[in-house]
Amino acid sequence: MLQKILIEATKAGAKELERYFNSKGLKISNKEGVNNLVTEADHAAEKAIIAVIQTAYPNHFILSEETGEIKTDSEYKWIIDPIDGTVNFANGVPICCVSIAVEKAGVIILGAVYNPFMKEFFLAEKGKGATLNDVPIEVGSKTAVISANLVTGFPYTYLDMPNGPLEVFERLIRKGVPVRRLGSAAIDLCWVACGRFDGFYEHKLAAWDSAAGFLIVEEAGGRVTDFKGNYYSAYQPHICATNGKIHDELLQVINNEKTL
């Protein structure tokens, strides 16, 4: 039942993305900071998603990017990003998605990420594997960072911090390692899960950015930690997600403990 409602809610949000995508006169505003956009499509998708969840589970806790927390004492929490990749969406770039995770008693047990423009629906249930459009997926097989295909994202703050995003990026690309930036952490994670990328790292994410994708990577056979190699929590900012085979080496590069 939970999975059925998760799929229904994800698709309901995606319908709103399709309805508003490339529409003339799309209302766009900026939240705190630079290029921290929110559109009327974000709000419409979030409303549609929450309506599905609350119809089935009116007492469940909800954490959503735009609304914030709808607190209850339920052990179930829905973690929602109505549009992950809003800057892409607002500019007509179809690398964006709906991302929803379900947490039970502090453990992520379900995750769904859907890009309706590419018709790619990623789904995972804890202990039961991950799928893309109902077909099982698994991470890639590369064993060295120097031959890996990586992806990252840059926060709009603290770019110049010591050992920050720009330093790590330069460290990799100066050695010829391809590092992409798609603009959607949820899609980045899913593309690690299905083997298109071998690793993803980012210095600053919110829970709604990574909660679903993190589970999808793990259930596809990958490994996800913070930058210290500790088990990943969606409620802390740093993330390193890989096929598992390059994980320790990538952490060493990120932490400036190894030169390629």
3-state secondary structure the chain: CHHHHHHHHHHHHHHHHHHHCCCCCCCEEECCCCCCEEEHHHHHHHHHHHHHHHHHCCCCEEEECCCEEECCCCCEEEEEEEEECHHHHHCCCCCCEEEEEEEECCEEEEEEEEECCCCEEEEEECCCCEEECCEECCCCCCCCHHHCCEEEECCCCCCCCCCCHHHHHHHHHCCCCCEECCCCHHHHHHHHHCCCCCEEEECCCCHHHHHHHHHHHHHCCCEEECCCCCECCCCCCCEEEECCCCHHHHHHHHCCCCCC
Which of the residues in the chain have pLDDT under 50? 33-35
Output the pLDDT for position 28.
Answer: 59
pLDDT for the residue 36: 52
Q: What pLDDT, on the 0 to 100 scale, is given for residue 41? A: 84
Model pTM score: 0.94
How much is the pLDDT for 159?
A: 63
Specify the pLDDT at position 158: 63
pLDDT recorded at residue 31: 52
- Structural domains of the chain sorted by starting position, each given as residue range(s) with its CATH number in brackets: 2-136 (3.30.540.10), 145-254 (3.40.190.80)
